[in-house]
Amino acid sequence: MSFWSNKRILVTGGAGFLGSFVVEKLQERECKNIFIPRSKDYDLVEMEAVKRLYRDAKPDIVIHLAARVGGIGANRANPGKFLYENLMMGVQMMEVGRQVGLEKFVAVGTVCAYPKFTTVPFKEEDLWNGYPEETNAPYGLAKKMLLVQAQAYRQQYGFNAIYLLPVNLYGPRDNFDLESSHVIPALIRKIIDAMGGKESAFQRLNEANKRNKPEKPDKPVIVWGTGKATREFLYVEDCAEAIILATEKYNKPNPVNLGAGFEISIRDLVKLIAKLTGFKGKIVWDTSKPDGQPRRMLDTSKAEKEFEFKASVSLEEGLKKTIDWYLSST
């Protein structure tokens, strides 16, 4: 608690999916001075807006979460935009932080920075052993440059910047827009829609209706790829806790993975979501679409060793919470 009590914290992306949970964790620790910039007020791609943000917030610590993100489809459609905007936001936020004598900068990268073919589990030392998976390489490389910048600034200026590598996140408040969402919210949305929408799915999940057959058969759900690719998923609240712990306790140049330490195939993930929602329809695999990276699972031992983080929410529990949130959202 004492670490946060008199510090001014700037959380870029603090109104977003992950950021909103990070802010809640800060509030739980009685942090009184949290500045959450909104994109309509501060376009972090523009240097003048970044300088103005630092003047307004006067932070001691920056937790940089703001990013242009999306699933495979969004990455394929916007490679230039994803590279430029993520690169400029991160580089300028760190540079101005250095100029004003910031106490600490927490850069949050992405698992997409890892090479396409990385030995599982991914170790932080593997980060430079190849080129990222092509569909999200521009995004992954833009975020990866923050690690280079953090290490260079530490070496030349003694600037305390750390770099964290979270795996795929999911949970309540995620983006369920099919044009830009990641795999878990996209699957939940597709399956709920195929069941007739939120109200129909909610009734089906109700205890009294569990044994009842749906009035109409569920529509088929089309899923990209073969289903063979594997992924690791970290519940968003666990990730927020990891970021807070790292901010408090970690002050070294080496990157640190944030994950849950397991992998599941997309095929098995679809089956699990179908089971949790009560979906009875057919799954159709569109193999003309890409799988993305073949396998993805992190070695999470460094986070546990360096700042005592270990994920606490199981995938099934996290999916239940995510589905419940989506069904109750307007």
- Cα(87)–Cα(145) distance, integer angstroms: 7
- Cα(221)–Cα(281) distance, integer angstroms: 7
Q: What residues contact residue 153 under an 8 Å CB cut-off, 6+ apart?
A: 94, 98, 159, 161
Which amino acid does the sequence have at 94? M
Burial, 327: exposed, middle or buried (Cβ in 10 Å; 0-12, 13-18, 19+)? middle
Out of 114, 139, 163, 326, the active site residue is: 139
CB of 168 closer than 8 Å to CB of 238: no
- Cα(300)–Cα(259) distance, integer angstroms: 6
Which amino acid does the sequence have at 92? Q
Pair type for strands 61-64 and 168-170: unpaired
- Cα(187)–Cα(227) distance, integer angstroms: 12
φ, ψ of residue 193 in degrees (nearest 5): -60, -40
For residue 260, what is the DSSP state?
Answer: -
- Cα(317)–Cα(300) distance, integer angstroms: 20
Q: Number of C-alpha atoms within 13 angstroms, CB side, residue 113? A: 29
Q: What residues contact residue 213 under an 8 Å CB cut-off, 6+ apart?
A: none
- The reply to whether 170 belongs to the active site is no
- Cα(292)–Cα(225) distance, integer angstroms: 8
φ, ψ of residue 113 in degrees (nearest 5): -75, -20
- Cα(214)–Cα(200) distance, integer angstroms: 9
Which amino acid does the sequence have at 223? V
By annotation, the residues acting in catalysis are: 139
